[in-house]
Amino acid sequence: MTGTTQDDYTDRYARRVRGMTTSEIRALFATASRPEVVSLAGGSPYIAALPLDAVGQMLGDLASQHGATSLQYSIGQGTVELRERICEVMTLSGIHNASPDDVVVTVGGQQALDLLARLFLDPGDVVLAEGPTYVGALGVFQAAQAQVRHVAMDADGLIPEALEEAIEATARAGRKAKFLYTIPTFQNPAGVTLSEERRERVLDICERAGLLVVEDDPYGMLAFEGEAPLPLRARRREGVFYCSTFSKTFAPGLRVGWILAPHAVREKLVMMSEANVLCPSAFAQGAVTQYLSTMPWREQLKVYREIYRERRDALLGALDDLMPAGTTWTRPTGGLFVWATLPEGLDSKAMMPRAIAARVAYVPGTGFYADGTGRNNMRLNFSFSAPDRLREGIRRLSGVMEQELAM
Ligand code: PMP
């Protein structure tokens, strides 16, 4: 039998687990993935754009010709071959000074965040993060029993003055902010990018305050207009922990990401990862290594960029044409997401069942804040659906919003 069961274990849970609740976003995905629903809710890349036959051949060879290593245990830090390739990939983003020795391969970008939280956060520590921020990072910080203080953004990303104010307010409250968690480029969920000028200021502010920086950069290589600004890590070597993943540029099913860490802490990260997962999957690492060494991955990146740019244009065009007056939204120059702000009085969370009934799904803004704000916001994904589906989704969504406004 399925359904809700009574939980008789509540009293036995560790303290860090007691406050944990199911992410409302994950719960939505089951409904949102029904074929008749236009889902603007996920964050999935468009895997059908990969040359799947060639990838299949490569994966077969990996087992039949290299099985002795690809099906064996790997090492905690990740294979040297993959770490060398990762350094090559990072040069594309402008990080030229990375050594494979300072790279730790992780189980997706998600484990990178988890390891850094385990490394730095004691219960009650404060993390500064953009508001809104990545839902999976909020889950990690909650599990670490840390508190998140959000820092406001505008169209140019994190606002430096707001960061200074957040640091001061934390100190006034007698707390220590351990790090700034930031997604400076094509932010999830806001779709905005930290400007060149602000990058230096944000780094200076953190340096002066003794605040570490966790830079999460899964989307930096998905720029639609020119190249993304240089990552923070390309500007400062010490104090910046750079995280990324192959989930958005190759395949999330493989679960391969990495941290580029200052040399001194790399060993601690590896020890923690070993305690956590022993080693990342040898097969997945082999697959990414083969992909990067034998397949035209730079060309594939261009394919992804082209497809997503076209879809972004379709979504923005549909929003321009169809959204009720008073709705505003960001205009991303890369990545996968648009962040919309609804007219006064609309509640994206309360509206969700009506939207699902109208066969369209999005993620309500509240999921991206630790403090329950975001009720009049929603995140819209444009990477997964074809342009005509995106337009149909926005047509349905605007219909639901018009109805709510008329109520
Ligand atoms: N960071 C951000 C900002 C993300 O958007 C995501 C994935 N949605 C991740 C980390 C996690 O990536 P992965 O799927 O590789 O674990």
- For residue 17, pLDDT over 90 is answered with no
Distance, in Å, from the CA atom of 2 to the CA atom of 200, rounded to the nearest integer, reads 53
What's the rounded mean pLDDT across residues 333-357?
Answer: 96
Mean of pLDDT values over 357-361: 95
Contacts of 194 (CB under 8 A, 6+ apart): 156, 157, 158, 182, 184, 185, 202, 229
CA 259 vs CA 49, 88, 133: distances in Å: 27, 14, 19
Strands 337-341 and 377-381: antiparallel
How far apart are the C-alpha atoms of 153 and 131, rounded to whole Å? 7
Probe target for ligand 1 pocket from 153, 216, 254, 368, with the most ligand atoms within 8 Å of CB: 216
Give the contacts of 200 (CB within 8 A, at least 6 positions apart). 235
Q: Is 108 in the pocket of ligand 1 (CB under 6 A)?
A: yes
**pTM for the predicted model, two decimal places:** 0.96
Structure tokens belonging to residue 47: 């895997």
Q: Which amino acid is at 206?
A: C
| Amino acid (1-letter code) at residue 303 | V
Pairwise CA distance, residues 200 & 207, whole Å: 10
CB 71 within 8 A of CB 283: yes
- The stretch 351-355 carries a mean pLDDT of 93
Q: How far is it, in rounded angstroms, from Cα 229 to Cα 196?
A: 6
Find the 31 Cα to ligand 1 centroid distance in Å.
Answer: 22
Cβ of 130 less than 6 Å from ligand 1 = no
**Cα–Cα distance between 120 and 145 in angstroms, integer?**
12
Percent of the chain at pLDDT above 90?
90
Kindly give the distance from the C-alpha atom of residue 109 to the centroid of ligand 1, in angstroms, as a whole number: 5
Q: What is the pLDDT of residues 266-276, one digit of tens each?
A: 999 999 999 99
Assess whether the C-beta atom of 183 lies below 6 angstroms from ligand 1.
yes
Of the two residues 341 and 5, the one the predictor is more confident about is: 341
Ligand 1 in reach of 381 Cβ (< 6 A): no
Q: Tell me the mean pLDDT in the region 236-252.
A: 96
- Does residue 216's CB lie within 6 angstroms of at least one atom of ligand 1? yes
* Mean pLDDT, all residues of the chain: 95
pLDDT band at residue 21, thresholds of 50, 70 and 90? confident
Rounded mean pLDDT of 279-294? Answer: 98
Q: Kindly report, residue by residue over 180-224, the tens digit of the pLDDT.
A: 999 999 999 999 999 999 999 999 999 999 999 999 999 999 999
The set of residues, in sequence order, having a beta carbon less than 8 Å from that of 254 and lying 6+ positions away, is 246, 281, 284, 287, 288
Q: Is 398 in the pocket of ligand 1 (CB under 6 A)?
A: no
Long-range contacts of 222-225 (CB under 8 A, 24+ apart): 222/186, 222/248, 222/249, 222/301, 222/304, 222/305, 222/308, 222/334, 222/335, 222/336, 223/186, 223/305, 223/333, 223/334, 224/305, 224/308, 224/309, 224/312, 224/332, 224/333, 224/334, 225/333, 225/334
Three-class SS state of 126: strand
Eight-class DSSP state of 328: E
Of 149, 244, 236, nearest to 188 (Cα)?
244
Q: Is 353 exposed, middle or buried (0-12, 13-18, 19+ CB in 10 A)?
A: exposed
Strand 377-381 vs strand 360-361: parallel, antiparallel, or unpaired? unpaired
- Kindly give the distance from the C-alpha atom of residue 291 to the centroid of ligand 1, in angstroms, as a whole number: 20
Residue 366 scores a pLDDT above 70: yes
* Structure token pair of residue 220: 């930096």
- Which residue reads 């990552």 in tokens? 231
CA atoms of 259 and 256, how far apart (whole Å): 11
Whether 2 shows a pLDDT value over 90: the answer reads no
Q: For the segment 108-163, what is each residue's pLDDT rounded down to a tens digit?
A: 999 999 999 999 999 999 999 999 999 999 999 999 999 999 999 999 999 999 99
Contact, 45 vs 304, CB < 8 A?
yes
pLDDT in tens, 45-91: 999 999 999 999 999 999 999 999 999 999 999 999 999 999 999 99
pLDDT in tens, 380-407: 999 999 999 999 999 999 999 999 999 8
Asked if the model's pLDDT at residue 279 lies above 90, the reply is yes
Rg of the chain on CA atoms, in Å: 21
- Supply the pLDDT for residue 316: 98
- Residue 1 has a pLDDT of 42
- Complex-level ipTM: 0.99
Residue 245 Cα: closest atom of ligand 1: 15
